[in-house]
Amino acid sequence: MSLTANGLLADLGITDARIHLNPGVDELYRHAIRLGEGVQAATGPLTVRTDKTGRSPKDRFIVEDDLTRDTVWWEGFNHPTTPAVFDGLREKMIRHAQHSELFVQQVFAGTDPEQRIAVRMVTEMAYHSLFVRNMFVRPTPEELQDFQAGWTVLNLPSFKADPAVDGVRSETFILVNFTEKMILVGGTQYAGENKKGIFGVLNFLLPGRGVMPMHCSANVGEGGDVALFFGLSGTGKTTLSADPSRKLIGDDEHGWTDTGIFNFEGGCYAKVINLNPEAEPAIYRTTRTYGTVLENVVLGEDGTPDLNDGSLTENTRSAYPITQIDNIQPGSVAGHPKNVVFLTADAFGVLPPLSRLTPEQTMYQFISGFTAKIPGTEQGVTEPSPTFSACFGAPFMPRHPGEYARLLAQKVQDSGAAVWLVNTGWTGGMYGQGKRMSIAHTRALINAALNGALDDVPFEREPFFNLEIPTTVPGVPDEVLNPRAAWADQQAYDETARKLARMFRDNFRRFEAGVDPAVTACMPDPDQQG
Ligand code: ATP
Ligand code: MN
């Protein structure tokens, strides 16, 4: 317990809790183990199990009030709630927190001092406190001296809502209040809520200042050329940005200002299921490093992580400070991007491994935000399921997708960045027949694009999506480049491509009214011949 923490949460009405202020790694390991949250793996990381093993987007609410009524897009994942619901749950949570033990981390979201927000992360779980310490930007000792929190997150997994009286959907809730500058989280131990909650805050605030907030990873080459990698979960943002030949800026959330790119975070949150040490050495090393948090990774009898064990969840994660990666960009800020890559993991095996987008196609693909998941364990489901998530991150984007799309289009135009669509999903057939693209091929394709090796090669047009595909790429067999040619059965390809084209069209209908006709004209055409 820290005496300096006395009164730290008095403004919330928490006057009598045991508060640990800014505890360090050793201390948090001790507390997490004492509280039974987890154990130390033989390879070093603090290893924990959580009740929820992923985010709960349906249980996330934004308080509707004068600030948000006309600025938030009340569709999709942005569910409205009232100030009264917020106040009621806050009061109950504060009662729950009195006399308890709490961990407080004072951190920044944003590496750019002009754009960042100061956040007070109040957590019940010691491991959340370590997660926050790893994932956010840690203030210097000087910055801590007069730290003034702009935002507060109160995260109490053991507090469960009563949907019958509390005005929420289930025991689990994430309530965001922009006026009070506060996020309440209850009923879930999944640590990702801490980071994605604050991400949503920046995504609301920054467009008002002309700054584009983005669900993307970023890295920078030897010559200073910056690349962004947008994509939904599992498409490869973390994997592909950790390229040993380029400096990592960040793996998930960035802002684009008038001067360039900055990371929102100070750490990375990597999927580690079936991680291959040869293909992803940098991320693999983090699973063998003290200070890392491993979530829902199963340990073998000797205490070593078994990365191939998905028995708790396929969404096993490693959360580590970015400094665990060797080749990083100091300060996690850089200039304007030269290349922007949209990643999609198309389990239909239809989209080309790499194609070049026009400005209109850029907006069309950005608003569509497509990826496709492999069939789950549900009985009778054998086809991939499409996901369309606007801005490649609809659950985190409080404003209308068109607002973000216009900002991005403007930034891309001003910087002259080239935009690429990369399919890290299936090739040679849909899931079940084909196989997942090799990481080596994806990397070779991306490197060719980033290094300018595609500037002078001929491109051909694919008919259904009207995408431009390079006919030859150094280090990649030609037959991989054109998805139709990669399928054994070309008729089956055409049928699947038509089906996917129709899905794209159906999804885009609700955006048509809000975009330029030239963007709508980029819809794929299912009536084309293969
Ligand atoms: P999240 O938003 O959830 O953090 P992400 O976009 O960062 O997701 P990754 O963590 O990089 O996604 O996950 C990509 C997964 O796909 C990894 O497990 C990686 O090993 C695997 N993978 C297989 N083939 C490829 C490929 N060709 N390119 C990229 N990743 C691949
Ligand atoms: Mn990631």
Q: Tens of pLDDT along 18-31? A: 999 999 999 999 99
Planar angle of CA 140, 141, 144, nearest 5 degrees: 90
In terms of Cβ atoms closer than 10 Å to its own Cβ (0-12, 13-18, 19+), residue 521 is: exposed
The residue contributing the CA closest to ligand 1 atom 24 is 439
Q: Is 233 known to be catalytic?
A: yes
Active site residue 238: yes
Q: Whose CA is nearest to atom 11 of ligand 1?
A: 236
pLDDT tens per residue, range 360-419: 999 999 999 999 988 766 666 678 899 999 999 999 999 999 999 999 999 999 999 999
- Is the overall model pTM greater than 0.85, yes or no? yes
- Contact assessment for residue 103 and residue 28, using Cβ atoms and an 8 Å cutoff: yes
Query: Closest ligand 1 atom to the C-alpha of 270?
Result: 10
List, in order, residues 6 or more apart from 18 with CB less than 8 Å away: 1, 100, 101, 102
Using the mean position of ligand 2's atoms as its centre, give its distance from the Cα of residue 317 in Å: 9
Residue 346 bears catalytic tag = no
pLDDT digits (tens, 9 = 90+) for 130-151: 999 999 999 999 999 999 999 9
CA distances to 18, 47, 205, 374, 522 from 212, rounded to whole Å, are: 40, 35, 10, 31, 23
Split at pLDDT 50, 70, 90, the class of 457 is very high
Around Cβ 148, how many Cβ atoms within 10 Å? 7
**Which residues on adjacent β-strands are paired with residue 38?**
48
Structure-token match 């491109």, residue found: 459
Confidence of residue 3 (pLDDT cuts 50, 70, 90): very low
**CB-based pocket (< 6 A), ligand 1:** 231, 233-240, 252, 269-271, 273, 424, 436-437, 439, 442
Answer whether residue 1 shows pLDDT above 70: no
Percent of the chain scoring above 70 in pLDDT: 98
State how far the Cα of 124 lies from the Cα of 102, in Å rounded to an integer: 5
Over residues 326-377, the pLDDT tens digits come to 999 999 999 999 999 999 999 999 999 999 999 999 999 999 999 998 876 6
What is the distance of C-alpha 400 from the center of its chain?
A: 18
Domain range list for the chain = 2-38+55-209, 212-256+336-520, 269-326
Write the CB contacts of 6 (distance below 8 Å, at least 6 apart in sequence). Answer: 19
Of the ligands numbered here, which is closest to the C-alpha atom of 436? 1
| CATH code matching the domain that covers 2-38+55-209, chosen among 3.30.1330.10, 3.30.360.10, 3.40.449.10, 3.40.50.970 | 3.40.449.10
CATH superfamily placement of domain 269-326:
Phosphoenolpyruvate Carboxykinase, domain 2 (2.170.8.10)
Q: Which residues on adjacent β-strands are paired with residue 184?
A: 154, 175
Could you tell me which CATH class the domain 212-256+336-520 is placed in?
alpha beta
Percentage of the chain lying above the pLDDT 90 cut: 93
Give the distance (Å) from ligand 2 centre to CA of residue 243: 14
Instruction: Give the pLDDT band of residue 5 (cuts 50, 70, 90).
Output: low
Nearest ligand atom owner, CA of 425: 1
In angstroms, the CA 359 to CA 361 distance is: 6
237 is catalytic: yes
CA torsion 60→66→72→75, rounded to 10°?
70
